[in-house]
Amino acid sequence: MENIIKNYCKKNVTYTLKYKYFRLSKDYIDSTDFIMYRVSPQINKVVLSSDGSGYFPLDYIKVGKKIFFIDGEITTKPSPKIFTLLKEKDLIDSTMVKVKQGLLDWDVIGKGKGTIMTNDRLKVNTYLVCKTNNKIVSKWRTNKSEVSAKNIKKAIKKGCKN
């Protein structure tokens, strides 16, 4: 993951200057020799649902003043390390919990005026990495989080270069 973050910071100077937080997700693909990683700016907070659960990162990697959150899971019990950091950086939105508890009136905060969850204008960097030598085989920069199957197959054909 460190190679991915270094490459991302080097190749995306505009984003690394503009944003403080990033999301790093790891996806397994049908090939046993490769792993796919995605990196993008994270502009939204962890939005807690009315039951107090949220999509919390599993961990993070700090590079200078930038934080790369490692993709996580829906839970009501994030690790103390993650919860402390998110609370310290004011990255938890508890509006829905407060509405359920009667601390906020939904009509007062305005229906449909919640936190922005996505921004399709932001680019996502996708990396195909060889498991054997941890080298980046291919990378793509798209407005979407998905790279076409055709492009992935083409990259896999290159194989792992030692």
Over residues 50-65, the pLDDT tens digits come to: 677 778 889 999 998 9
Judge whether 113 and 99 are in contact, CB under 8 Å. no
Number of other CB atoms surrounding residue 118 within 10 Å? 9
pLDDT tens digits along 11-47: 999 999 999 999 999 887 776 788 999 999 988 777 7
- CA 56, 61, 64 angle in degrees (round to 5)? 130
- CA separation for the pair 116, 149 (Å, rounded): 29
Q: Assign 3-state DSSP to the chain and report helix, strand, coil percentages, each to 5.
A: 30, 30, 40
pTM for this structure?
0.80
Where helices occur in the chain by DSSP H, the ranges are 2-11, 13-18, 80-88, 95-100, 106-109, 149-158
| Residues 74/28, Cβ–Cβ less than 8 Å | no
